Structure 1
């Protein structure tokens, strides 16, 4: 999975924080639940990702965030709990090579499987591109491991969405479509998501206006009112990942395998491109170890 997000961490976090006395406000989208067809109806997915077979799934009603958790929201969590993220404890995190804002001495290596990922000392949620950068408050928080997302949810009285809930919400009420808005990537020539344009990984034309993350609500919402469910940042889900899970998953409220080594991620990121990571399709799956962090992965939450 190194082309999408590098597997860099194997450590785990400490005790979870105490829940906030006054839970923070989240802009929620209440969804009625129901049955939908989950999976890749176009046979375009990577076999190792296990996007097939297409199967009917029923989800019960739930309320999900309209956007990913922003830097401002995560900062409120850290200010209240003094939480130290995996990236901060480890002292570095993965940054895409064209986005690095650091002295050369702070670049400590790269991912052999994906050399465009550089390990940058001092890169974390406050400094997403390295020590010479500053996170913008209305952008998605990044450099958060699954473990960090879980800690935020514990504090906020929320939880991560299951993979089935995420896909149901991301489809926006459209059945069997390739993207959250239909089957064409750029209908009428319009970019509806923040992904890579140009020749990956060397030149980004910036046709959608961004090299890295865009502020939340930069693109139109899907039919259910969710923003940026394709591109921008990968989103952690609650489930463990298994490529064969769809072949035997329950029809009602599946929660993923009982155990595993990697957690599911959904939605793709600003680095996705059809030539190497066609995972901004609504059925696309990826996964990473729970303590991995990078400059293109965040999360959104669901009401408990």
Structure 2
């Protein structure tokens, strides 16, 4: 049974029938074209955007709302294409028919299927029309080579797996991702004969679900559930210089659950272990040095700044302190996963509303009143009409206060050494030899309001010390 009120003639004599969602397919007339036809049913296990409001454990970054279908020639070029907007569960699976032209029953149809989210696609102007072009790093890309039907209607079901997110199909030679067990399969593999109409698998992918912590609660540390996140921000481009880096291309990652300090490491917390430190101690305030004038450390016997975040340390010292406290510096992926809402794609730790002077400790003495660093947690939601520098999980000061050291060596997202991974990176950590350049995340009390962006990436060169830099610690969820 093929729903085919209108046919569109394609090169090589193939015809693409009108696309129907599964409910529409059931309502189609059985009086179709008498020629042999393929019925192709496309499903996915990725979540669709319509599922997100009622499913808080699903990652929004993994959600899709569109399907692009390309019919390909011998060299991989598309000679016919169509994009279908399918944001709701009832839109899936998507079905279409392909009529076999006379004399070509022994020819396979080579079709490229890409599931993606429209807001993450490139927009291309073609005449008076616009066309969405899925980005390789944010699409589920599948090639299928299907024999054309010799007679009657032959049906096949193709499932686009979230495990293939960000993994591009290959054309020389032809290969495609089917699932985690078949990352480079032949396009003729993984096709299921279409029997009875089945409900969609949308939203069932294990990778799309949050992974809860299993360890007992830890003092001053908050559980950050693991899961799927897109690192980066399509709007942070053209900023690359000696300090900042572009936050593109987007990078799909999957994180194990971990624990993150609720606050940046404070002076008081450091004082409890200062005698164990083997490395360079924090610098004391120096009114004659513009980089050290606001140092918060006053010495081991001075408790006046115990509530202040500890600054004026180098990267080695920050990491040693975290290790003495039973953890380590967070990776960039862990930090952004927490700051962007664990798959919610937040632009700031508190949401998508731009930063202001009352929301976070930023631009003090320039755009905002007062000067110098503030005690940790000085910007709760109740102080700013419901907005404050507090994450989805209750972590404070990810947007402002101090810029925070990360464990990773700094490398651009298009660098092959760390980030240019085909597909999803699992618990990524960029460590490059004896690199002296490390990543820093988050704005600080002197930086502009725009530096609070969760995806903004900055560079730090060891062993410099600055009163705008601090850190917090992360701890794994394992034993």
Tell me, yes or no, whether TM beats 0.5.
yes
**Helix, strand or coil for the counterpart of 1:227?**
coil
Where is the strand percentage greater, Structure 1 or Structure 2? 2
For structure 2, the 5+ residue unaligned runs are: 1-217, 381-389
Question: What residue in structure 1 maps to residue 186 of structure 2?
Answer: none
Question: What residue in structure 2 maps to residue 183 of structure 1?
Answer: 352
**Helix, strand or coil for the counterpart of 1:166?**
helix
Cα separation, partners in 2 of 1:213 and 1:174, compared to 1, 3 Å = farther
Q: Which of 305, 308, 320 is equivalent to 1:139?
A: 308
Q: Tell me how far apart the structure 2 counterparts of residues 125 and 179 of structure 1 sit (CA, whole Å).
A: 26
Larger RCO (alpha carbons 8 Å, 6+ apart)? 1
Q: Tell me how far apart the structure 2 counterparts of residues 141 and 184 of structure 1 sit (CA, whole Å).
A: 28
Cα separation, partners in 2 of 1:44 and 1:270, compared to 1, 3 Å = farther
Whether 2:297 is the aligned partner of 1:126: answer yes
Q: Tell me how far apart the structure 2 counterparts of residues 224 and 87 of structure 1 sit (CA, whole Å).
A: 30
For structure 1, the 5+ residue unaligned runs are: 1-24, 93-99, 109-116, 198-202
Q: What is the Cα deviation at residue 218 of structure 1? A: 1.2
After TM superposition, the structure 1 = structure 2 runs for residues 41-56 of structure 1, keeping only pairs within 5 Å, are 41-44=234-237, 46-48=239-241, 49-56=245-252
Q: Tell me how far apart the structure 2 counterparts of residues 64 and 119 of structure 1 sit (CA, whole Å).
A: 27
Q: Tell me how far apart the structure 2 counterparts of residues 138 and 119 of structure 1 sit (CA, whole Å).
A: 19
Whether 2:468 is the aligned partner of 1:296: answer yes
Question: What residue in structure 2 maps to residue 13 of structure 1?
Answer: none
User: CA RMSD for the aligned pairs?
Assistant: 2.8
Q: What is the Cα deviation at residue 75 of structure 1? A: 1.2
Whether 2:429 is the aligned partner of 1:255: answer yes
Q: What is the Cα deviation at residue 236 of structure 1? A: 0.7
Question: What residue in structure 1 maps to residue 363 of structure 2?
Answer: 196
**Helix, strand or coil for the counterpart of 1:279?**
helix
Whether 2:376 is the aligned partner of 1:216: answer yes
Q: Larger C-alpha radius of gyration, 1 or 2? A: 2
Q: What is the Cα deviation at residue 126 of structure 1? A: 1.9
Whether 2:341 is the aligned partner of 1:172: answer yes
Given the two structures, how large is their TM-score scaled by the length of structure 2? 0.45
Q: Tell me how far apart the structure 1 counterparts of residues 319 and 260 of structure 2 sit (CA, whole Å).
A: 15
Aligned length: 239
Cα separation, partners in 2 of 1:76 and 1:182, compared to 1, 3 Å = same
Conserved? CA contact 2:222–2:260, under 8 Å: yes
Q: Which of 228, 240, 262 is equivalent to 1:35?
A: 228
